[in-house]
Amino acid sequence: MTDAVLTQIEGPLGRIRLNRPRAIHALTREMCDAMSAALLAWRDDPAVKAVVIDHAEGRGFCAGGDVVMLAKSGGGDGAEARDFFFAEYRLNHLLFTYPKPTVALMDGITMGGGVGISLPCKFRVATENTRLAMPETGIGLFPDVGGGWYLSRLPGRVGEFMALTGARLDGAECRYLGLATHYVDQASLPDLVERVAKSPGRVNGAIGAFSATVPEARIEKNLPAIAKLFASDRLEEVIECLEADGGDWAQTELATLKSKSPLSCKVSLRLLREGAARTDFADEMRAEYALACNVVRTHDFREGVRALLIDKTGDPSWDPATPNAVDDAMLDALFEPRDPGEEWTPFAAA
């Protein structure tokens, strides 16, 4: 077990509290295993009526996963990275299929792996501090932990926009897009948890009693531009549309997009296109596992982590350097399924 996750039963509630504040609660394999163990035990415990997931202290809910470890593993045999993804995706799927009400308090930074443990929950509470993003293309990765499923189901190409640019959404935007089910002031969260504990059979009403007035969602005014300029599943065409537009917003997003890994951007667009057609979340996790095992061994992932997180020079040298140089054969190789016996598998059903 690990002290980076605090798990306990409080009355009818199972409480999972991320407790790695110096890393903004970035997930390790041990943390994923601890959360899964608790969830599996509570799944069959009639005394536990609902589960609440939040963070114990610090300024964010969860900043993602331990990508430095992943990059180092990818530079070797990749075994540690594969073990992490296997455990993380099992946790994601367990939450997605959990038979009891689950509540994620998405207060503060909610990125990458933090998205993966909040979006599967039935109740997702955003606050004025929420900053949700899938910024993986900036480090040569892709929006995993179910990103191919969730982002592809957002309206009007918002998911593709988020995947390509790593755009950060605030709590109001999360509520507007349905990524959050409720918007509550941070100061009300302790009382909210207490109310849920008193009424675990009426979680929606308990949370709703603390719902605050949702501010204007800034992304709303940009939806027409996103739908138009990010309409294509071809990265080259998205760039051409942004260049042709010439407006300030388009030029800002173009500059952002050009800083990302072309390979990762093309991987992300294909993942969302394929994810939109899937009907089983387990199939999504299986496909993302195979993809992640391959992507962590690419030059761009190791280089992105080096430039942004290790050396912090902010100047990754992508290879291939341009979208045109990323061909279908490269993508086909990365999307190759795992060999029989090496595929991702979910926990056994209850």
Catalytic positions: 65, 113, 136, 144
Cross-strand pairs, 10: 13
Residue 155 and residue 219 in contact, taking contact as beta carbons nearer than 8 Å = no
How far from 19 is each of 35, 103, 200, CA to CA, in Å?
12, 17, 24
Residue 230 and residue 238 in contact, taking contact as beta carbons nearer than 8 Å = yes
In the chain, the amino acid numbered 74 is: G
In the chain, the amino acid numbered 211 is: S
Cβ neighbour number for residue 32 with a 10 Å cutoff: 27
Among candidates 124, 109, 116, 98, which has minimal Cα distance to 55?
109
How far from 14 is each of 30, 97, 148, 349, CA to CA, in Å?
19, 16, 29, 19
d(CA 142, CA 20): 24
d(CA 151, CA 112): 12
d(CA 327, CA 20): 40
d(CA 322, CA 77): 28
